[in-house]
Structure 1
Amino acid sequence: MDSEFLSLPSDLVLEVSKHLDLADAIHLLSTCRTLRECCTEKSFWIGALARVRQEQRHPIAVPLLQDLSALTLAELAEAGKRTNRLMRNWRSETPKPESVREIYVDLMADIVVIPGANLVITHGAGFVACWDIVRQCSVGCLVENGIMIESATFGEYGKVMLGATKRNSSCFDAVVVCVDYRNRAAVSISLLLQHTFAYPRRHSYQVSPVSVDANIARVVVTTLEPWNYTLLSVSLAGNEETRYGLMPAATRSIGVYGPPKTSIISSPHGPYFLRHMRDYGDIAHLSNSPGTPPTTTTTPLGTPNNSFQIKHFIPADPTADVVCITSGQFTVEFWPVQRDADAQLVFGDIYFVRRRPRRLIGVVAGSSGTYALVALHPGGSLDEAPLRLLRCVPGGALDYRDIRVPDKTLYAKEGQIALDDHLGLILSVRGDGRLRIASYA
């Protein structure tokens, strides 16, 4: 180490270290006592973690939407070191888990991971629970007869808004459940809304999952062919709105089997409605101004793909891109979405991952939208489906890695696989309540 550099004032050394990437900064701190003093400054770790998220487009090992300045020095240092371990592992040619463990949760449950928090939400017919996977115990539960959770929205630190439905043969019900985990020892799970829309269920073919954003629950109803779309919305105060004709009707002649898959992306300027049309995507912007008709644009897809799911991710960093991930029988698509000068969403070039002859079983993605897991059909037992870790950075290369868990299986058939890309966890749950957790950091 250059003696002239070491003779610089400590505040100047700290300032220089703020311009290093995380791996170089951690290596620098291990070289001598003078530089290790940088570890005692919260600003060093805050700056290093912020650069990871903004410049290297990698999620950091803290809870989603966490204010970094609210963390202690020890918490920041641990987050920095874990983030560095995860980047080094996942960007290697053969990512390997550091550990694999099991805990037992609810029987016959699906899971929602709370990114970076070591908390998992389990849900099934009539119940929602929250589990601390470090302490291996339940920290909150709600029993509400008949509800079925369909979506999760992370709008602010410490809260998850769950969109749900309730059995109703004649109309559409929307239910909103709030999971407040700011007090990790006793998580609060409460029912915020249960609303029956004044819209008959007859003649409907498909209903989108209930989505919740900005205190509004939304459902898109697809009528019988030709496919027409109606948006049903209700605020937490109970104010209902119905919008007809979100975009031009579609028919089977376009080559999509059944109605095209749809999704809603929230925005402060009004939601966006996506429709996957095999060869192209339709995007309708619905203004917040009453009476304003939606504006529709079209994005070519390049490769025909009968999508069976669409997921979208809005990163906590407001300068990052929204990412839509769609998957079909053989293809995964990443749609980066940028905000223009008026904060409107503009869809960019689409990245493809094509896997033939094996078909895809499913795709799950981390909250950052940068990493996704693809489960491929193994040709034998679905419990042993091989996994691929995909990484997509808008404007950069799209790559994938084989990712396996030796000696123990992640259940791709019996339960749901989830990805926590903040902490580097892959989780899966079986019908008997066995939750398996593979850690890569």
Structure 2
Amino acid sequence: MSRSFVELPQDVLLELLKHLDVEDLINFLSLCRVIRELQLQKSLWLYALVRVREVQMQPLPLPAAASLDTLSLQELLDTLSLQKLQHTALQVNQIMKNLKSENPRPVRIRTLSVERERRLFCIPAANLAVTHGLGIVDCWDLLTCQRVAHMEIRMFLYIVTWPCLEEEGKAIFGAAIGWGTPEHLVAICIDYRDRANLSISHLISPAVQGEYSYNIHFFITTQVVGFVARSSIVSWRMDNPNNGVVKTPVDIPSIRLINFHVGT
């Protein structure tokens, strides 16, 4: 005997709806009275917001973004009201619809006071941007257009991995130091777990042996930064900075496979 979708137990419905994006969730909740009653479940809206950030890689309005950086899911359920979660979800839905439209309308236009020759990278879902020039790295709040963190390295520094690696309120970029050839590998970490006290830190590897052009494929993980050259992988483990840079010979098919999986 067939069973209607709305006849499923509420916990089963909630588990299924946790996997919907915000727009699909809002549309689904308008289907009928039984379904609409589920909108009183705070966890439904919270998981939708988490999907916006973690799956769709889109920024959330503050302070929701800051809350996700610092609190666990249970703490969020305990501290955020149902009205606040619903309001944020509706706001996000409007923003994303605008972004997807053929002629998106800017809510506001602001300008970053950045030197023209600097490169700019955005940190997905964090409302932050990173700029860097000769030995200088700055982090900017895209909502206020204010510089919120600054770091200087008295050497030629070049960010080489994009997109960045994000993990628990941190963004990690791979970089290299050297004119014409990578002389050192660098890991740059931007810690934005505390939005009021953002920080930029870095680790510099020992010297890279040999000469390589920058026309190579760099990669970064939580523990390793390196690049794939013509016949070898050059890497450095950041979890033990005293280790030297390692050159591992590999054949051409292996290089192509690694480049496909971890190349930038």
Alignment check: 8 A CA contact 1:18 1:48 kept = no
* One-letter amino acid matched to 2:176: T
* 1:131 match: 140
Question: Matched residues in 2 for 1:75 and 1:233: separation?
Answer: 46
Which aligned pairs between 1:148-187 and structure 2 lie closer than 5 A? 148-152=158-162, 153-167=164-178, 172-187=183-198
Residue 231 of structure 1 is matched in structure 2 by 233
Q: Distance in 2 between matches of 1:160 and 1:51?
A: 18
Partner of 2:160: helix, strand, or coil? strand
- The answer on whether the counterparts of 2:176 and 2:182 sit within 8 Å (CA) in structure 1 is no
Secondary structure, aligned partner of 2:94: helix
Contact 2:180 2:214 in 1 (8 A): no
Query: Structure 2 matches for 1:62-77, cutoff 5 A?
Result: 62=60, 69=73, 71=76, 72-73=80-81, 76-77=85-86
Q: How many residues align?
A: 237
Counterpart contact for 1:230–1:245, Cα < 8 Å: yes
SS at match of 2:143: coil
Tell me if 1:101 matches 2:109.
yes
Task: Return the offset for 1:189.
Answer: 0.5
Partners in 1 of 2:100 and 2:39 — Cα distance? 25
Q: What secondary structure is seen at the aligned counterpart in 1 of 2:44?
A: helix
1:170–1:107 Cα change, 3 Å: closer
Letter matched to residue 81 of structure 1: L
1:215 aligns to 2:223 (yes or no): yes
Displacement of 1:122 after TM fit? Answer: 1.4
Which one of 93, 104, 119 corresponds to residue 110 of structure 1?
A: 119
User: Aligned AA for 1:176?
Assistant: A
Q: 1:53 to 1:127 in 2, by over 3 A?
A: closer
Distance 1:150 1:59, change over 3 A: closer
Conserved 8 A contact 2:53-2:125: no
Deviation sequence 1:53-96 (CA, Å, 0-9, x none)? 99xx744544699687254346643442244224534555x242
Q: Give 2:3's aligned residue.
A: none
Q: Is the 8 A contact 2:57 2:124 kept in 1?
A: no
Give the corresponding residue for 1:84.
93
Is the contact between residue 151 and residue 164 of structure 1 (CA under 8 Å) also seen in structure 2? yes
Q: Secondary structure at the match of 1:151?
A: coil
Letter in structure 1 aligned against 2:126: A
Structure of higher RCO (CA pairs closer than 8 Å, 6+ residues apart): 1
Do the aligned partners of 1:61 and 1:80 also contact (CA within 8 Å) in 2? no
Per the alignment, residue 42 of structure 1 pairs with: 42
- Map 1:233-248 to 2 at 5 A: 233-236=235-238, 237-238=240-241, 239=243, 240-247=245-252
**Aligned mates of 2:170, 2:144 — CA distance in 1:** 20
Match 1:272 to one of 211, 236, 258:
258
Structure 2 gap ranges (5+):
1-6
CA contact (8 A) 2:184 2:205 kept: yes
TM-score scaled by structure 1? 0.44
The equivalent position to 1:195 in structure 2, one of 206, 211, 223, is: 206
Distance 1:183-1:173 versus aligned 2 partners, 3 A rule: same
Higher helix share: 2
Equivalent positions of 1:286-305 (< 5 A) are none
Q: CA deviation at 1:128?
A: 0.7
Residue identity over aligned pairs, in percent, reads 25
Corresponding residue SS for 1:273: helix
After TM superposition, give the deviation of residue 174 of structure 1 in Å.
0.9
1:205 deviation in Å?
Answer: 5.1
- Counterpart residue identity of residue 177, structure 1: I
Work out whether residues 120 and 133 of structure 1, in 8 Å CA contact, stay in contact via their aligned partners in 2.
yes
TM-score, normalising length: structure 2? 0.69
Distance in 2 between the 1:140 and 1:81 partners? 31
Kept after mapping to 1: 8 A contact 2:30/2:36: yes
Q: Distance in 1 between matches of 2:218 and 2:51?
A: 35
Q: Is the 8 A contact 1:207 1:219 kept in 2?
A: no
Matches of 1:79 and 1:188 in 2, distance apart? Answer: 27
Deviation digits for residues 216-265 of structure 1, max 9, x if unmatched? 111223xxxxxx3321111111323211234159xxxxxxxxxxxx98xx
Task: Identify the structure with the greater strand proportion.
Answer: 1
Alignment RMSD (CA, Å): 4.1
Aligned ranges 1:355-366 → 2 under 5 Å: none
TM superposition shift of 1:187: 0.9
